[in-house]
Amino acid sequence: MRNYLYHNLEMEKPNPCLEQMVADPFYRRIGEDLKRRKAQNRWREIKPWLPPRIDLSSNDYLNLRSDPAVLAGAHQAMEDYGSGSGASPLLFGFLPCHQELLDDLLRWKNKPAGMLFNSGFMANQALVRHLPGPNDLILADRLIHHSIAQALTQSRAAFKRYDHLDLAHLEELLEKKSGRYETVFVITETVFSMDGDYPDLKSLVNLKNKFPFILILDEAHATGVYGPTGGGLAEEAGVLEQVDILVGTLGKSLASMGAYILASIPPVIDYLINFSGEFIYSTFMAPSQAGAARAAIGVVQSANDKRVRLKVDSIWFREQLAEMGWERDAFDSPIIPIHFADEREAIKIGNALLEKGIQTGIVRPPTVPEGTARLRLSLHSGVDRPDLKTVLEVLKSWRK
């Protein structure tokens, strides 16, 4: 309907049926909204993905989507249990392959209880909408993922967003709100999806010791990339035991699809199983997804050489950008942003790279705040230095 409506609104030849449709308030309203979005350089459309020469748009940080072991894991699970789960998890859609995956995640992340979801969006919605009560407070990083930001407005609890990565501001809020709520929840991503930056987790845990709260970490973009076994930033910082609830996805470094919530206290999981409609009322993930993710965990845990090289390349690439005059941040994640005040410039340079066979993410408001459009470059272990030098040459030419 989206493309059909928009393109027909632009047709030069009159069409009585379309004219009548456009006269309807509903169709007129959405048509005007779509025109406005295009005029703002914020038009989105779905296009078939064709493999570029150099792909810097994927979150497959260890390049495992075509790994033989991962493909074999997916194939074996499908052979054993079929192409789909056939039901919601509480109506026998939770199969042995799902339990095996969950057991592997619990051992890896050192948590006693957990559950699987069909997507990270659903997992975050379930957490924020159902766990905090009406007498509770949620403190969330200002740039938290949309799945959490949206759920904050649907939660029974009050909420406040602290300044991005600003633990001093968080401490100020904790001190100010201390004693006024039954339970305080603090929610942050570890590696943030748009800029690749991350909080000081050791300092965050120190705050937790000073002002008791439930700490929820979203490790979606850190899993596989950080920690001696790829367990995430909490593993690397040595604070995994102090994290109350961990969220992560299977669709990034684990090269599959779906998500998990792991908790230090089993009743948290029991509560979500009983009260989160996001889990209860959805046909469960396909066996192939569970099989692929389980195989990927085994690969990730022994891929420290890849992690080290990815970090080294990420730092090196930032240094090269800084030498060319681009702003450089102080982080070492494989997510590297190049910021533009004018989103039209981000579109132009993104298209210039694409003409050279280099695919990046062009990110514009409302996904990011006004005036912070960017190219989102996502490095992975399948990209080598010659590839990155090619990218830098195009950026250098554009910079000149």
Q: What is the mean pLDDT of each run of 10 residues along the chain (400 residues)?
A: 40 57 79 87 77 91 97 98 96 96 98 98 97 97 95 95 98 93 97 96 96 97 97 98 98 97 97 96 97 98 96 96 89 94 88 92 87 92 94 86
Amino acid at site 18: L
- Report the pLDDT value the prediction gives residue 8, as an integer from 0 to 100: 43
Mark whether 330 and 263 lie in a shared domain.
no
Phi, psi (deg, nearest 5) at residue 218: -100, 105
Mark whether 124 and 195 lie in a shared domain.
yes
Which residue range(s) make up the domain with 312? 54-62+304-399
Phi, psi (deg, nearest 5) at residue 113: -145, 150
Q: How far apart are CA 121 and CA 261, in angstroms?
A: 12
Phi, psi (deg, nearest 5) at residue 162: -90, 155
CATH code where residue 161 lies: 3.40.640.10
Contact 251, 87 (CB under 8 A): no
Burial (0-12, 13-18, 19+ Cβ within 10 Å), 134: exposed
Which residues are catalytically annotated?
A: 59, 145, 189, 193, 218, 221, 252
- Report the pLDDT value the prediction gives residue 225, as an integer from 0 to 100: 98
Residue at a domain's end among 265, 281, 301: 301
Mark whether 294 and 322 lie in a shared domain.
no
Residue at a domain's end among 301, 324, 348: 301
DSSP letter string over 267-318? Answer: HHHHHHHHH-HHHHTSPPPPHHHHHHHHHHHHHHHT-HHHHHHHHHHHHHHH
- Report the pLDDT value the prediction gives residue 2, as an integer from 0 to 100: 38
- Work out how many domains the chain is built from and give that number: 2
Amino acid at site 163: D
CATH code where residue 345 lies: 3.90.1150.10
Contact 235, 229 (CB under 8 A): yes
- Report the pLDDT value the prediction gives residue 260, as an integer from 0 to 100: 98
Contact 223, 308 (CB under 8 A): no
